[in-house]
Amino acid sequence: MRNFNELLRNNWNEGKYLCVGLDPEYEKIPESLRKSSVRETIVAFNRAIIDATKTIACGYKPNTAFYEAHGDEGFAALQETCFYILEHAPEVALILDAKRADIGNTNLGYVSFAFEQLRADAITLHPYLGAEALQPFLDRKDKGIFILCRTSNPGAGELQHLSVGEEPLYLHVAKRVASAWNGNGNCGLVVGATYPTEIAAVRKVAPGVPFLIPGIGAQGGDLRAAVAAAKEQEGAFLICASRSIMYASRGLDFAEAAQKAALELDTAIRTAV
């Protein structure tokens, strides 16, 4: 049986920290890959990116929005992509970027969607409904649960920096996740590379908790600063990049360009570590 924490540790031991986002924007997919259906086109594109990067990546992170936008064909493409990762890149963690959460009863459906239908190793969630609502996820000891904490978007501070007592809300979330919610040792935090000072603050209150760090590449996050703020002796972070890898070229050489971009970022991460 696959175990998310074991997958992470094995990859970290090999010096792998790169998580490749699989966010297919249909209009950006090279014309050479256009098939008779949206599903076939997206799957062909994703498979090529996976084949080009599977010896480099620590994780793959498909964002469900890019698939949901295409209805039934999009869901079919997401499912086929997930199954392809599991079969052809079995040592790479599959992280579903879904940002789900609801009352506990509804979450049972989300748990089935992510972990049974798609067989993902981890999922992103938001914390607003509290641990009681998220318990169906937290109970899955073999899975990774990444809670949104200090996100990479420019407007994140509107709520995440609100004062809760003497600290901002994002630090309150980090403390709660790292202690009260992490009884099974399967919790992680989403912290954006665009805010390395906040990453360092979160690391102080959440030692040992894996960080999922978006914002590198197209969003312009400072890689060295993010790694310096997040790293610990045993790794404990994943650096995410999507557009800068997937669309490194829109020509016939798109897969080779994606591999080159992934290798360059991998080298930069290893140097920063």
**Closest C-alpha to 215, from 239, 246, 198:** 239
Length of the chain as a residue count: 273
- Taken in order 107, 113, 119, 122, the sign of the CA dihedral is negative
Scored b (16 or more CB within 10 A) or e, 130-140 reads eeebbebbbeb
Please give the C-alpha separations between residue 31 and each of 13, 157, 248, in angstroms, as whole numbers: 39, 39, 15
Output the DSSP codes for 21-45: EE---GGGS-GGG--SSHHHHHHHH
Query: Which of 35, 99, 143, 231 is an active site residue?
Result: 99
Based on the residue annotation, tell me whether 231 is a catalytic residue of this protein: no
Question: Which pair of tokens denotes residue 12?
Answer: 């970290």
Nearest-angstrom CA–CA distance, 267 and 239: 12
**Closest C-alpha to 144, from 1, 22, 4, 260:** 4
Nearest-angstrom CA–CA distance, 46 and 233: 33
Catalytic residues: 99
